[in-house]
Structure 1
Amino acid sequence: MRDNSKMTQPIADHAATNRRITTLSVGVAVVLVTLKAFAYGASGSVSILASLTDSALDLVASLGTFFAVRWAAAAPDAEHRYGHGKAESLAALVQSGLVMASAVFIGLEAVRRIFRPEPVSGGGWAIGVMVLSIGLTGWLIWQQSRAIKASGSVAVAGDRAHYSADLAANVVVLIGIISGSLLKAPGLDAAAGLVVAVWLGWGAVGLLKTATGHLLDAAAPDDDRNGITSAVLDDSRIRNVHRLRTRISGNTLMVQMHVDLDASLSLAEAHDIVDAAEKRVLARYPHADIIIHADPAPAVAPATEANAAPTSGPWG
């Protein structure tokens, strides 16, 4: 369940935080690509090549996130009444395809060099570049974590997950370079490149599942749906929640539901009850877009041994 207690800044401030951290992410990606291109030219290491390709894709992914968070933050317009939040998921879908293609390329190159090893030269330069890359990537992840606490951005969280995987992959690459240059075992360097390729493919599958889930209107997690239902039912005048539907668009949680109210209530009274329920949900989920439809509660016969029956659950 998301920690919504930390999502208290105005939405404009959240957008500014996301713009700043995505700009930083692009800058770090450019530096990493430059450093690794130099290291690959000096060493010819396949694991450096794998890491260079990964960083190049990181740059593409970070650029996608850079533009996606700006598009997603745009206000609803006449053609997009629900806003532009799915721009983030669309960008992630494209990124997952790029990452998977890269994983296949690196995997094939690594397998080729396992059977036909090539020496790794310039190991000192390559090791220095990878140590610097690990430090720079770790610093970026720390900055992204701070931004996520401030804004709760799904796009930035996805970018951080990608760089977290890169951090681990860079450690594997460093091991491969040391093996290939210092231990004179180039086959281990190629094997390290293969490990990175598998890691990239696994990450691409996870990113694809998340992106397609949002684009296909997958429901919010059970914890969130239970939290919504609990908030609505805090008022005893609301007898039941049913036909609850949720989906996620960018940072916005879309919520629709029906609630049962006493049929004798006036329209104004029913409106006040529903309005209060919406405010309780918003207190837990500040970025929610909520629609609640009031239904007259069905008449309930007095419970007896003959006609007693369990009441319906929160999902109706």
Structure 2
Amino acid sequence: MTDKTDLKLNLSAGLMSSSVAFVLVLAKLWALGATSSLAIAASLADSALDLMVSLGGLAAIAYAARPADDDHAFGHSSAEDLAALGQSVVILASAALIAWTAIGRLLAGPPGPIEQEGWGMAVMVLSIVLTLLLVAWQRWVIRKTGNRVVAADSLHYLGDLIPGIGAILALLASKWFGLGQVDSVVALGAAAMLAIGAARIGKGAWDALMDRSADPSMVAGIEEIASRHPGVRGYHDLKTRTAGSVVFVNLHIELDGNQTLDAAHAIGASLRRDIIAAYPRADVMIHKDPVGVEPHPDDPGKAAQR
């Protein structure tokens, strides 16, 4: 699949996500006015954040796809991590506000009645159906492109399903049993889920911005490819870092120093192709060393030879 095809799929996921969030914000605004339900208010806040997150993610996908230039030799993929980190902070603040309001209602005594529960439930069912359709499309795009922004957005929307179902249960409890306090309890649960999701997204973005290495399974996979590649006598100084949906790989390989430069280049290029075939989102740089070469005293310390 070409980079342009990947970009189109990622942008389609971002546009669909933003569109669904916008529709749900309008529907839940109406439902909140009709029912005065705090659970719907929590779900509305979540959808409003979804809209902001999705728009930010869409902008990040478009910006991160820009090619490298003189000022950004390694591309612009870190924009995805910056967007995710900012989104996580806003989501945490929203979760705190929802929790504060819910606790205040619980301490204030029996709440007033929730009105027009039927309409509120209809809106929440619509929310669940649209969210399921969106997540299904996002998961398909993720399988094709592996984009981290789309994956994080999909995970967040999947987490929205439980607060949505909880809001329906709260409305049913109010309608059938007069248990208005369930509304605040569900809102507290939704706030907790928002906070957990925001912390997870924020940690992933922070790790990437701090140049954390790639997943250990990927590192082990690259090591396996290098160790069995024809012509490679050994390898060392394997370094990885993640930026958005791109994993940068730097690897030193040891080759027969008596072979021609053309032959050495062919081995390095072949190894690079093999690594990218296994990990299509990798940006690979390979340095070639003769077997047994002694490092110069002025060279920086090297990792243990393998």
Correspondence for 2:253 among 247, 251, 259: 259
| 2:128 alignment partner, SS class | helix
TM superposition shift of 1:277: 1.0
TM superposition shift of 1:54: 0.5
Match of 1:150 in 2: 144
Q: d(CA) in 2 for partners of 1:89 and 1:315?
A: 33
TM superposition shift of 1:314: 8.8
Q: d(CA) in 1 for partners of 2:2 and 2:291?
A: 37
Q: d(CA) in 1 for partners of 2:143 and 2:292?
A: 44
2:279 equivalent to 1:279: no
- The question of whether the paired residues in 1 share the 8 Å contact of 2:230 and 2:267 is answered with no
| 1:233 alignment partner, SS class | helix
- The question of whether the paired residues in 1 share the 8 Å contact of 2:42 and 2:190 is answered with yes
TM superposition shift of 1:315: 7.2
Using the size of structure 2 for normalisation, the TM-score is: 0.93
- The question of whether the paired residues in 2 share the 8 Å contact of 1:15 and 1:73 is answered with yes
Q: d(CA) in 2 for partners of 1:164 and 1:57?
A: 14
Correspondence for 2:284 among 290, 293, 309: 290
Correspondence for 1:39 among 17, 31, 36: 31
Correspondence for 2:117 among 104, 117, 123: 123
2:244 equivalent to 1:250: yes
Q: d(CA) in 1 for partners of 2:6 and 2:69?
A: 20
Match of 2:86 in 1: 94
| 1:237 alignment partner, SS class | coil
**One-letter code of the match for 1:49?**
A
Using the size of structure 1 for normalisation, the TM-score is: 0.90
Correspondence for 2:97 among 105, 115, 118: 105
Correspondence for 1:174 among 147, 151, 168: 168
Runs of 4 or more, structure 1, over 6 Å off, are: none
Q: d(CA) in 1 for partners of 2:232 and 2:255?
A: 5
| 1:291 alignment partner, SS class | strand
Match of 1:28 in 2: 20
Aligned residues: 295
| 1:241 alignment partner, SS class | strand
Match of 1:48 in 2: 40
- The question of whether the paired residues in 2 share the 8 Å contact of 1:119 and 1:186 is answered with yes
**One-letter code of the match for 1:180?**
S
Match of 1:6 in 2: none
Structure 1 unaligned blocks of 5 or more = 1-8, 300-312
Q: d(CA) in 2 for partners of 1:173 and 1:37?
A: 14
Q: Deviations over 1:141-160 (max 9, x none)?
A: 11111211222211111110
Match of 1:79 in 2: 71
Match of 2:298 in 1: none
Match of 1:4 in 2: none
Correspondence for 2:62 among 56, 70, 94: 70
**One-letter code of the match for 1:133?**
S
Q: Percent identity?
A: 36
Q: d(CA) in 2 for partners of 1:264 and 1:35?
A: 72
Match of 2:51 in 1: 59
TM superposition shift of 1:129: 0.7
Q: Deviations over 1:173-199 (max 9, x none)?
A: 211121123321111111010010111
| 1:292 alignment partner, SS class | strand
Q: d(CA) in 1 for partners of 2:305 and 2:175?
A: 61
Q: 1:78 to 1:199 in 2, by over 3 A?
A: same
Correspondence for 2:199 among 190, 196, 205: 205
Alpha-carbon RMSD: 1.6
- The question of whether the paired residues in 2 share the 8 Å contact of 1:26 and 1:62 is answered with yes
Match of 1:309 in 2: none
TM superposition shift of 1:104: 0.2
Q: Deviations over 1:85-127 (max 9, x none)?
A: 1111111011000100000000001111112223211111111
Q: Deviations over 1:246-289 (max 9, x none)?
A: 11222222100111222323322222211111111111122321
Correspondence for 1:191 among 157, 163, 185: 185
